[in-house]
Structure 1
């Protein structure tokens, strides 16, 4: 794997983020396979409209250079066996976020472990953290060409140089400015509740927002955001109006 063009990519998860990844990365010229837990026949048609192929989960991780996980963190124990035979140089990317209101409780994260490092433990291999700081509507609809002055920027964290190189390049391929946010140890600055989480910042704004993050306040702001969303919807939704969610995230987290 000597460059970042025309990569073979497998995506696990075909929800709002996963299907947009499949569409955008195939459109950018990559060879993309996408899978979910229910089988190829259930992959949404819009995930495949740019040339991505629907496959089984086992097929998605075979003969690929990059694997992207776009699933809830509590599902990682189910997919971890798929990674046992992956070559060491396969780049694994993670888009997940932990939300106790949605997920089963994860004691280690509740106790303060960085979410990305928890994922590394579940999979037994290094990862790249990317695409976790953007609401699905913005990801699907607000990508812009390189050089656009109001292009949204997304942070990317990784420990290995090649992982970082691929992660930054693929974020750019999906229509967003990529920013090197450092190591996985520092990726808590990208977690829910931080100033960069679902606030649609530009490349000029992103570095300061990462620096403003306060680790001890992340979970409080994350949970307060969801409490307001659930109260507003009378407890019936985990898919809020995207523009309202954006405004609320900016008010509470920045």
Structure 2
């Protein structure tokens, strides 16, 4: 059973995962690119089960690691410190933020496969990339809840996906295994399973207003059966611009 969760990235999605992990009884080591001293307020808010560290220190201390960073920053992940670890990748590809990457624009690869290439000695599992930060908190439910939601995972290693499934269950979600990292495009931006099912009709607005709106919206439960249907309905798009704000 996992005892310590490492967070590389302390943005909105990383912070939401940290809060759920603390509530589930995990010890949490949070980190970012700016240094542990910038996380003092967050650690105080999270309480005694949390501490701050550098990304490499968080990677070494953790039984399981969540990389909650923008895709453009993935080469900064500490590959040596993450060797042998299961790494949950929350990143989404936004060309307007990350710059156009030919492998992704043409559909030759997926964002998670790029991260797996960088972390050659780790086991990458795509997770947490289809839900906004507030809804990740508000939709978490106990295992026996009738309105429990599911989140998709993808990965190339069965044991790593089992670890991810166990973590999701502890945090309040069922997991839907969509296959290897080559199939993780089925949950990328602009696919049926991405963000919208957990929110309903999204008002036309800018990114800041959208995020304010999500904080006032409780969210809509998405059970595993519905999520599976949405994933199966996905059609691969290439060379497009992602239109919805990032869940990173």
TM-score (norm 1): 0.79
Counterpart among 35, 40, 51 of residue 39 in structure 1: 35
- Residue among 168, 172, 176 paired with 1:175: 172
2:96 aligned partner? 101
Report the count of equivalent residues: 219
Going from structure 1 to structure 2, the CA distance change for 1:45 and 1:175 (only over 3 Å counts) comes to farther
Whether 1:202 and 2:223 are equivalent positions in the alignment is yes
- Tell me what 1:65 maps to: 63
Find the partner of 1:184 among 166, 181, 192.
181
| Mapping of residues 64-213 of structure 1, within 5 Å | 64-79=62-77, 82-88=78-84, 90-112=85-107, 113-124=109-120, 125-198=122-195, 199-200=197-198, 201-213=222-234
Give per-residue Cα distances to partners, 1:52-88, cap 9 Å, x unaligned. 2111222111132212100001101122xx2224442
CA offset digits 1:69-110 (Å, max 9, x no partner) = 00001101122xx2224442x211101101112222222211
Partner SS, residue 225 of structure 2: coil
TM-score by length of 2: 0.80
Alignment-derived partner of residue 234 in structure 1: none
RMSD: 2.2
Segments ≥4 residues shifted beyond 4 Å? none
CA contact (8 A) 2:152 2:187 kept: yes
Q: Compute the displacement of 1:6 (Å).
A: 3.7
Gaps of 5+ in 2: 199-221
